[in-house]
Each structure stands twice: as structure tokens, then as C-alpha cells.
Chain A
């Protein structure tokens, strides 16, 4: 039996390909339904190719070889003989599952950048606005600014506009940056209809789009927009104000590397210094009998996740990987690189901050406190700064802020964040909160 952690595109593709070789597969996922964040959102808003997920979800439900465990939050993992045991919580009860082989497809979460006002009500991630729409049928606001960078802003903005909101898109990067990646565009002609789909939706829905700008402040229903350079530093401050009751702001995605970190899978940094897993050409992680596919090996979108997941599923069953699948992954990887080149997130956002701007919202640690931990107390890295200020120690365990804290610290010390520090900051021993009662009751014997 193989355990697949995650039921997004990568996980479903892995389950499908492993089951096609006659292997028993258990897919374990935190959500009540399969599809992962990406497909769940797209299906909700009937975005481009949103029905592509149907075949995979049908497989998940109907293939007798595939078991689907829903609503399961894996909180820890341990090595067990030559396999692994996952400990998970389901409706408040702890359960365990073990297998010799594991495929991790743990996905990613939105990256947030702080700006004055980002912790006030009305500011959320694009993913959050999508979830409200899908999960609760709630349009987040009447006038919504979708700000940040990357193609994910498009489905969110068009979905919100379709549901009746006034929507503006403030994209930080220039579309001309795509000219840096001609090969990736040539090899992925399928992306043009997708672009046209959104472009026509934007025209039809009268969504105003600005490039090279960002929301750099939000107060009492007014979003202040500044012109920014490609590194996000301010070119011209506060060029206009937009009245908006919601600002949906997202700066790409950060892979969720917690579980693989617990299992000792080697990590590395991508071109944006984001922590991702190292995998070989069959998606094998450094730890024995673990495969990793999808966003956790580098942000690349659903197409790449599908290819990687299919390869991981085949490899885990000891099957041959068809050349066509390898080629597909290669072209999607090229496209993923082009995405990164087109939508970089530089450190210039630190210019948006005021002294009192909160960086860590769980522990309410301000920009000034982090600067002081460096200048006054001698912190030279994010870990030490965290010990002094408590930044990153709250409920989210640094998922939202730790990347930003280390960028602030390195901006203050004028030293680049070291590779080992980036890697160390991503490692957490507990993948999800667990109550002390449930934890203690799980004692062996």
C-alpha cells in the first residue's frame, strides 16, 4: 500500500497512476472533498479548464484500489521499520496509518507581504477571498482591490467580479517581463487560450488593471496605490487612492514543506530563495521510500503538479516512466521558471513599512522591534531575532511571517540570508496543533 498525502492535482495524479498499476493507494487529505485548494477554487468559479479535475475526482471516488481519508490533519510522522507512520487528527480523534511508501503532495499556501494596515479587517489573501466565495457563497466585499503579483490574481478577480463586486487588479510586475522567457512560451502554446480566456473576462467584466503598482497602505476603506519597481521598492509613492472594502493581496505561494521536513527529506532553495524539496528525476526525495510531487518541490501550478504526481505514482510502483510524461514535466518546469522570472517578489516591500507596522500578526511584533533586535541586541539571523521578539512563535508558527522576518533581518544586517538559515527556518516538529489531552492519550502500550 502507498499513502498519498494531499488530494490536490499532484496527489490525485499520483493516486491515479499508482492505482493504474494495480497498487492499493490511500489518499489522506485535510479537506472534506478532494481537489486541493487549486481545483476546489477553480471549480467553484468555473474558471478556465475547471472541469479538468472531474476525471481525477471520479477516479478518487470510484476506483476500488483507492481509499480516500478526508478531514484528516497529519500532525506528525515517524519512521517505522523500513516504512513510515503518519499520526493524524480526524474530528478531534488521533489515528495512525502506516505504509512502506509515502508520496507527499502537501501543496502551498499564499505568501503575504506586510504593509501599513494589512492586519485590519478587510485585508485577506486571494485564496481567502476564493474560499469565502466557494465555501460560504459569500462575496468578500462590494469594492475589491486584488493586489500582488502572479497569474492567480486573474481567476480570483474574475470570479469576484462575476459575483457582482467592483474589482480592480493591481499587478506589481509588468507583463513585458514574459519577453524574458520566449522558450517557455513557445513550448507551452496551451497557455495562450488560458490567457485569452482571462483577458476577455477582464474586458467583459470591466475590471480595471494596473501594472507596476501595488497597494502599499490600507486605512478606513481606502487603499493607497504606489508605483513600484520590479524589486517592489517604491518608484512613486501614493499615486492614487481606491475606495475598497476588501483588499485581497497575494504574492505568489510558499510550499508547505513541514511534513517532509519532519521525515528528514532534504530541502533546497529555488531561484527566489524559497525552501523546496530536492527530488531526483523520478520525484524521489532524499529519504528512502518517499516521493514528493507538486508545489512542495517548487511552485509550478496544476499542470506541472499533474505531471510530477503521475511520475511519482509510477515510480513508487516500480513502473517505467513514459518519455512523453517526462517531456510534459520538462515543458511545465520551463513554464514554472518563466512564471518565477515574470513575477518576482523582491525585498523592496520593506520600504512600504512604518516603524509600527506589524510583521508577525500572531505575536504582534512590529517592524521596529525586529530592527531593534538586530541593532540593539545583536541578532544576526531570523532565529535569534525570533527568540528576542517572539516573531513567528504564535498560532501560525511563522508560516505567514518567517520569510518576511528573515528578509527584514537581512535587510538590516546588510547580509544575505544564509542557505542554512532559510532551510532551518522552514522546519517545524509539529505539522498541526494537537491538544495535550489527545497527544498524551496516544502513549504506546
Chain B
């Protein structure tokens, strides 16, 4: 194997997208992972590609572009990962003024956010609890199978001359004169002038190995999976409280439920968020809250059996914005991490930003809000 132009650490969807984008820009890319494809947060993901839950600002701009890039990636790689613009429906339980204000702000920034009244709402979701009188329909919200996506994207990278080495745990990031030149791993040393850190919740650790710093912490999220059921749910449906929770920095557990059906007939109930460390223990109370919220949206789900629950750890930064860009201290070390619960959706957009910056070409947006340097400045 000849020396690559760039090494991407992490074979989740964020790393895979970066590898594809760099490969398509003409670079020879080596992807390494301490496990196998999709073995981290991607493997515990729901596959959300959402614009509906973003407030106007840089993250929404990124989300809108990234959502389109998902469909471009599907054309490039092939229709292998169940990408579907199924649309999102956000409903308000009591007071809908916050939701309506958000929708109107989003519309000004290019989001297709259609206010729907009671009858349209129940046409969209016939099994929704009758107490919901209004909501907003987001046709751009989409869905994919993230594990399959990462696997097929990496397969494409390999078919275009790139390489993938699994079970290679990074033990050292090689830096000389503040310039990265490779990584030492459990499977040997690999040299390249560009290293992309796409390791999600472990991104802080990789940054520390390079002598830098990145304040990425894990946030636990649960997903409930039911037995296969008839199609009761037609979109991604969530309570508008979810949007409030996404931006919350309250360390206590907050849950608000996103409910959706899948092609296999199972229903996914997700989006609890809780700021804890890497604690894998289950908490029955979280499962109960998620179930209660899901059945309050869709009473028909009361008789559907829960088969399993799983959790993953979402990487997040203190300001809840992703970290995308070159390291503040180490040249050649790029980060694409801290996407929290939106990593699947934001992956190709983040990859495009990094590729554009590396190549020094103009990009679709000003990415300074995502710069890793923003934390360094706070410290000073």
C-alpha cells in the first residue's frame, strides 16, 4: 500500500462521508477504525436526516445542504441504504405559539415548513391522538439506514483506490513542529500529511494524543424497538417539546419522543437525552417515559409489544454545535465530530466543508461557527 494523502480515523458515517468526499476530490484516502464499520455511534443511530429540529443559524444551513448531499451521495454510491424523504410532522400538545414562531423563522431560511390544521394533521397521521389540533409538516426531513450507508460508502471509497483497515486502534497521533504526519496504531504506523478525526465521542481523546484539546462529551440516548406492526405511523412524528430539549444544556434527564415506522414494520421510539458518562447501564424509568410519551402521541401503540431497547452515546460540544475544521494548534489535523444526535444528517455536509477547506476552494457556507478554534479562544 502506498502512503495515502489523508487518513480518516473512524468508520462511522461521519468518517465514511469524509473519506468519500476526499476521494472524489482526487485524494488517496486510508480509513482506519478501532472496530469495524459502523461499530460506534452510527451503529446505534436511528438514521435521522432532519431539518425540522434546527433553529435558524449555521447548523440549519449545514443541515439543509447536507440533506441534499445525502441524495447526491445516494446517486454516487447507489440505492443501498434505504434513503427516503419520508417527511417529519411536529405537533404541539398545548400551546403551539413556540412551534409556529420556529416554523416561520425556518421558512425564512429556506426550510419547507407547512403549517397544518387539525384535519390535515389527521390526514397525515390518522392514528395521532385527537387532542392534537395543529402541527407543522416538514417534507424535507429524511431517513436512512446509517449502518448500511457507512458500509456502502466505504466500499465505494475502496473501489476508487482507497483503503480501509479495521481493528486498528490509534495509540499515537504523530506530530512534528505542530504539523501532523501520521498515526501509530495497533496495526502499525501510517503516514499522511492530513489526518481527519471522525471518532465521535472519542474525538477528545484523539485530539489529546495530538497534544491538542477538544471538549467533546458523550450524551446517552435510548431507542425503543417494537415488534413489527401494521403501518400506524407515516412520518417522523414528534412533540414540539423535542426541539426545546435539543437545545437544552440541562444535565438532568429530559425526554421527548420521536416516533416513526420503518420498512420492516418495527416502530422506533427515540430521542431521550441524558448527560452521563460512558455508563452502559439500563434505566427502566427512561424506557417507561419514552413509552408513555409515544402512546400519548399514538394511543394505538398501547397494545404494541416492545421487543428491545438499545442506547448509544452521542458526542456533543458545550455549545451544541458540531466541530468541523482544522485543529487550532496542530496543522493537518482536521476534526469532524460533536454532531450530537444529528451526526447522520450532518455527515455529508461536514465532509464537504472539510474537503473544501483542505483544497482551499470556496464552500457553500462560512464554517467559522464550527471551528475547533472557538474553544481555544474561550479558554484564553
Contact = CB atoms under 8 A, between A and B. Distances in A.
Interface of A: 76, 78, 87, 262, 264, 363, 376-381, 383-384, 387-388, 390, 393-395, 397, 428-430, 433-437, 439-444
Given A384-B147, A443-B292, 6 more contacts: A377-B152, A378-B155, A380-B36, A433-B307, A435-B305, A436-B306
B38 interface: yes
B167 A439 contact: no
B115 to A, nearest CB: 29
Contacts of A430: 306-309
B179 interface: no
A437 B295 contact: yes
Contacts of B288: 439-440, 442-444
Nearest to A390: B264
Contacts of B368: none
B308 A428 contact: yes
B307 to A, nearest CB: 6
A229 B282 CA distance: 44
B308 A384 contact: no
Contacts of B154: 378
Nearest to A439: B291
A383 B38 CA distance: 10
A154 B228 CA distance: 38
B307 A379 contact: no
Interface in B9-51: 36-39, 43
B37 A433 contact: no
A440 B306 CA distance: 11
Nearest to B154: A378
B285 A378 contact: no
DSSP majority for the A interface? loop
A395 B167 contact: no
B304 interface: yes
B206 interface: no
Given A390-B264, A429-B308, A381 B301 contact: no
A240 to B, nearest CB: 40
Contacts of B43: 383-384, 387
20 contacts: A264-B281, A377-B152, A377-B155, A378-B37, A378-B166, A380-B166, A383-B39, A384-B147, A387-B43, A388-B147, A429-B308, A430-B306, A430-B307, A435-B304, A436-B304, A437-B301, A437-B303, A440-B293, A441-B292, A442-B288
Contacts of B148: 377, 388
Contacts of A440: 288-289, 291-296, 302
Given A429-B308, A430-B308, A436-B291, A443 B285 contact: yes
A397 B303 CA distance: 19
A434 B305 contact: yes
B282 A387 contact: no
B284 interface: yes
Nearest to B309: A429
